[in-house]
Amino acid sequence: MICAVLYSCKDKEAAASIITEQHDVQIHYPGIGMIYIDKGDCTKLLRSDSVSATTFVCYRIGVLDSVQTKNGNASYEEEKSVYYQYNMEHDWKALYQGDSLSPVFFHVTNRKQKNRFEGVLVFETPTGKNPDTLIYNDTYGVWGKQLIVLNR
């Protein structure tokens, strides 16, 4: 069964916020937004020593914020931007065989849309191993604690 919905939208930014791409993980909260996660390629960000006992694993993390402030509340927008650029990485952990790993690096990417924040989280893991789970414990907004099980 295929269902299609067509509608007209005069607000070009709202129309642009409709996401058509698919991600490895997507968490939707109606009226709030979406978090998405894609496994990334670390070679674009880091060089690796081939004889090291550890390697780097990257995840592209994105947040689409549906909550828009009216009349351009600059203070709120600035506070939110500071969180996503500098503090969000501290709210993420990766689990590998019961061990908790913190990100070693967070690379913020250019914003494609006003309501989209995106970056790459980098975790250091034993060579050839990937985390079992990602945990996001949102200390800023309304997302709460998210447990994302990987490799299952």
* Residue ranges of domains in the chain: 22-91+102-130
What are the E-state strand segments in the chain?
25-29, 33-40, 54-65, 92-96, 99-101, 105-108, 116-126, 133-137, 145-149
User: What is the structure's pLDDT at 120?
Assistant: 93
Distance (Å, whole) CA 146 – CA 96: 16
Band (pLDDT 50/70/90 cuts) for residue 136 is very high
User: What is the structure's pLDDT at 71?
Assistant: 55
> What rounded mean pLDDT belongs to the chain?
79
Nearest Cα to 27, choosing from 110, 146, 150, 151?
Answer: 146
The residues with which 107 forms a beta bridge, in sequence order, are 120
Alpha helix positions (H), the chain? 12-16, 74-82
Q: Over the stretch 45-92, which tens digit does the pLDDT of each residue have?
A: 777 666 677 888 999 999 888 776 555 677 877 888 888 888 999 999
Chain centre to alpha carbon of residue 13 = 21
Q: What percent of the chain has pLDDT over 90?
A: 28
Integer-rounded Cα radius of gyration of the chain? 17
Query: 130, 122 in Cβ contact below 8 A?
Result: no
User: What is the structure's pLDDT at 2?
Assistant: 33
CATH of domain 22-91+102-130: 3.30.200
What's the half-sphere exposure (Cβ side, CA atoms, 13 Å) at 99? 11
pTM value surpassing 0.75: yes
Nearest Cα to 88, choosing from 71, 108, 68?
Answer: 108
